[in-house]
């Protein structure tokens, strides 16, 4: 396992972090509506085995959140980190900013999370999914004072935030407080999206460690690529899997501290451990960087909408399965998945979960961390997939 210094905090962390939003499932949960975060029927024995195996192999950064798996992720992670595993990792969880209505909620939610995780403190406590509106709300309710107090009383060690907005908002937040870390979305398809490379480099300039989420763009960059992308990868002297190309791209930046992977199977754990065991700086040659540029161009020409399947748009008041529909739409556009997309969409139509049920209420767009034009995309997807 490769390790990197966590800024100036005095310890090293594994370049691979275990993200606990996509833990293995026993079966799909009724009412999850394709939202990974709402899938509550976790295969806990397998999830525990995966997490402990990763830690035994050198992973020492674990990331969860209040809302993951419908609130079950923290419980499962807390039990998995028993028997001495808690002492082997840096543990991060997140404040659900959308549930904070008054200042007293800060302490109530943190204390609840510590109980679920069965710990006296967490190492990193992130303000979850900050955007302009939630940042302004959190400031007005005194979140910075709360963080300072929670550090002082020992419940959290390091205050941090995760981010889903544009670069100017990112810069404002980063400059507003002595953050120990920030977490941003970054992959070779999203270099100019949200905080993007500009945010990564500005955080590096400020000396703030950066944790990367969505390095595989919701898993899409790890899937079997279309023919023209395969042809590009075949030109490489060193053959790699699609996932390894994506991981190496984000690891190649010196400002990258931890790369989170939401692993759902033991096979994924083993594959990722192998990738990161060999991911030594520099992670890409100049020629390999040119190949990734070419792949990016191909995918951008094919992509319909930049959905990462985070599920924040759900549940839909009209019962539309938004993430699944947009996923099918992108599969059709980017990967040429026609038969499977049409069959799956037909199933949604038969159950009244298709895009035609959209009432244009706009709730999905208000909650989308990517600020995507979801309502228009649903109309387009319906025309293509019906």
CA dist., res. 248 & res. 251, Å (int):
5
Vertex 32 angle, CA 196 and 378, to 5° = 60
In a domain, 44, yes or no: yes
What tokens appear for 268 in the block?
């994924």
Q: How many domains does the chain have?
A: 2
Distance of CA 270 to the CA centre of its chain: 19
Residues 134 and 281 in one domain: yes
Q: Quickly state the pLDDT bin for 342 (edges 50, 70, 90).
A: confident
With cut-offs at 50, 70 and 90, classify the pLDDT of residue 4. very high
Considering the domain architecture, whether residues 343 and 288 belong to the same structural domain is answered as: no
Tell me, yes or no, whether 332 and 293 share the same domain.
Answer: no
- Among 299, 314, 331, give the residue marking a domain's end: 299
In the predicted model, what is the mean pLDDT of residues 272-293?
A: 95
pLDDT at 284 over 60: yes
Report how far apart, in Å, the C-alpha atoms of 115 and of each of 76, 133, 144, 152, 383 are: 12, 29, 22, 19, 48
**Which of the four pLDDT bands, split at 50, 70 and 90, describes residue 31?**
low
Indicate the SS3 state at residue 128.
strand
340 domain-assigned:
yes
Same domain, 107 and 15: yes
Q: What is the pLDDT of residue 350?
A: 87
Confidence of residue 198 (pLDDT cuts 50, 70, 90): very high
Tell me the CATH number at 193. Answer: 3.20.20.100
Bond prior to 282 in cis (omega within 30° of 0): yes
Q: Worst-scoring range by mean pLDDT, 36-45, 46-55, 157-166, 336-345?
A: 336-345
| 353 assigned to some structural domain | yes
Task: Please report the pLDDT score of residue 337 as a whole number.
Answer: 58
Mean per-residue pLDDT over the chain, rounded? 93
Tens digit of pLDDT for each residue in 90-132? 999 999 999 999 999 999 999 999 999 999 999 999 999 999 9
Parallel, antiparallel or unpaired: strands 3-5 and 12-14? antiparallel
- Is 311 among the domain residues? no
252, 267, 299 - which closes a domain: 299
Q: Is the pLDDT of residue 169 over 60?
A: yes
Which of 90, 88, 91, 110 minimizes the C-alpha distance to 99?
110
Look at residue 308 and tell me if it is in a domain. Answer: no
Q: Are 360 and 375 in contact (CB under 8 A)?
A: yes
> pTM for the complete prediction?
0.85
Is 161 strand, coil or helix? strand
pLDDT band at 338 (very low <50, low <70, confident <90, very high): low
Contacts of 122 (CB under 8 A, 6+ apart): 91, 92, 93, 113, 114, 155, 156, 157
Among 208-217, 298-307, 327-336, 351-360, name the one with the lowest average pLDDT.
327-336
- Asked if residue 266 belongs to a domain, the reply is yes
Q: Is the pLDDT of residue 343 over 80?
A: no
Distances (CA, A) of 384 to 226, 308, 309, 317, 376: 19, 20, 19, 23, 13
Whether residue 291 sits in one domain with residue 335: no
Choosing from 244, 266, 299, the residue where a domain stops is: 299
% of the chain surpassing 70 pLDDT: 97
Question: In this structure, are 48 and 154 located in the same domain?
Answer: yes
Which residue range(s) make up the domain with 235?
Answer: 3-299
244 and 352 share one domain: no
Residue 336 pLDDT class (50, 70, 90 cuts): low
Same structural domain, 77 and 180: yes
Tell me if 91 is assigned to some domain: yes
């Amino acid at each position: 396992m490769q390790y990197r210094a966590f800024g100036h905090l005095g310890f090293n962390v594994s370049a691979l972090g275990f993200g606990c939003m996509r833990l293995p499932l026993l079966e799909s949960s009724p009412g999850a509506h394709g939202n990974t975060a709402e899938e509550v029927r976790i295969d806990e024995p397998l999830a525990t085995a995966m997490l402990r195996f990763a830690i035994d192999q050198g992973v020492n950064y674990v990331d969860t959140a209040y809302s993951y798996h419908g609130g079950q992720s923290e419980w499962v992670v807390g039990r998995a980190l028993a028997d001495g595993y808690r002492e082997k990792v840096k543990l991060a969880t997140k404040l659900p900013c959308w549930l904070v209505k008054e200042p007293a909620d800060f302490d109530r939610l943190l204390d609840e999370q510590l109980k679920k995780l069965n710990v006296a403190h967490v190492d990193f406590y992130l303000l979850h999914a900050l955007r302009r509106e939630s940042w302004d709300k959190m400031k007005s309710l005194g979140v910075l004072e709360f963080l300072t107090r929670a550090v002082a009383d020992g419940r959290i060690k390091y205050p941090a935030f995760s981010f889903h907005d544009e670069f100017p908002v990112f810069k404002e937040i980063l400059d507003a407080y002595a953050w120990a870390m920030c977490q941003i979305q970054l992959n070779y398809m999203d270099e100019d999206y949200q905080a993007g490379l500009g945010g990564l480099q500005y955080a590096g300039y400020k000396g703030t460690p950066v944790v990367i989420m969505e390095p595989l763009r919701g898993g899409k960059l790890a899937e079997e690529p279309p023919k023209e992308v395969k042809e590009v990868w075949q030109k490489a002297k060193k053959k790699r899997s699609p996932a390894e190309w994506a991981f190496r791209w984000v690891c190649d930046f010196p400002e990258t501290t931890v790369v989170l992977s939401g692993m759902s199977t033991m096979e994924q754990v083993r594959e990722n451990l192998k990738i990161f065991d060999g991911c030594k700086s520099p992670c890409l040659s100049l020629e390999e960087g040119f190949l990734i540029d070419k792949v990016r161009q191909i995918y951008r020409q094919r992509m319909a909408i930049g959905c990462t399947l985070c599920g924040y748009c759900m549940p839909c008041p009209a019962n539309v399965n938004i993430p699944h529909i947009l996923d099918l739409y992108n599969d059709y556009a980017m990967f040429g998945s026609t038969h499977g997309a049409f069959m799956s969409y037909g199933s949604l139509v038969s159950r009244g979960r298709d895009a035609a049920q959209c009432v244009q209420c706009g709730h999905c767009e208000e909650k989308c961390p990517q600020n995507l034009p979801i309502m228009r995309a649903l109309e387009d997807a319906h025309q293509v997939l019906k």
